[in-house]
Amino acid sequence: MDESGPSVVKTGTSTIGITFNGGVVVGADHRATMGHFVANKSVQKLFKIGENLALTTAGLVGHAQSLARTLAAEVSLFELRRGAQMTVKGAATLTANILSGKPHWVQLLIVGVDPDGGSVYSIDSAGGSIPDTYCATGSGSPYMYGVLEDGFSENMTRNQAVALAARSLSASAQRDAASGNGMDLAVITLKDGYVQVDQSEIANALIR
């Protein structure tokens, strides 16, 4: 995540979403940069926008925080009006529509679960929306994809997916100067909703 001005699109960060059998794992690192300068080591890039939905952000901090607030409010209003949770596709479409109307300097993941299962959507700054079983964004994504392509499999368990996400984010922190300073991970399932992963579990996953 970059804090510099919007004259150039910057996506210095690492975020990830992985589906598994029964849910999704979503995560992001903590570092914010201004060019080559580490501006902040504890920036939030993973946002809960509903009990079954999460957002990760890469790009300008102000745009990312504004979108997170807007999406959380829209999801909450939808649930109050409809008496049901918004689907992952619905949240991705809502996000894409917001960005197509007023582009933001961000790259996003919308990650969550609904009765159709777990989903990961990559959303670009102009509102393009692409679904996948797993996805990585930001400047650290090439390093994460090296780990993901080797380790991902269909019908992974929750613990396997958490470990894979942790290893992927760790790989980006080792090689990408704009990523690092720890990570946040969360697991989303229909049964338990959005649950933050303990840092102790993340640490254990990285030493296996």
pLDDT tens-digit map of 172-196: 888 776 677 789 999 999 999 999 9
DSSP string covering 156-186, please?
--HHHHHHHHHHHHHHHHHH-TTS-S-EEEE
Question: CA 205, 206, 208: angle at the middle one, nearest 5?
Answer: 70
Mean model confidence pLDDT for the chain: 88
Bigger pLDDT: 8 vs 46: 46
Q: What pLDDT does 43 receive? A: 81
* Mean pLDDT computed over 2-31: 75
Active-site annotation, residues = 13
User: Does residue 6 surpass a pLDDT of 70?
Assistant: no
Q: pTM to 2 decimals?
A: 0.89
Would you state the pLDDT for residue 7?
Answer: 33
Give the model's confidence band at 46: pLDDT under 50 very low, under 70 low, under 90 confident, else very high: very high
Name the CATH topology of 15-207: Glutamine Phosphoribosylpyrophosphate, subunit 1, domain 1 (3.60.20)
SS (H, E, C) 11-59: CCCCEEEEEECCEEEEEEECCEEECCEEEECCCCCEEEEECCEEEEEEE
Enumerate the domain spans of the chain.
15-207
Cα distance between residue 155 and residue 179, in whole Å: 29
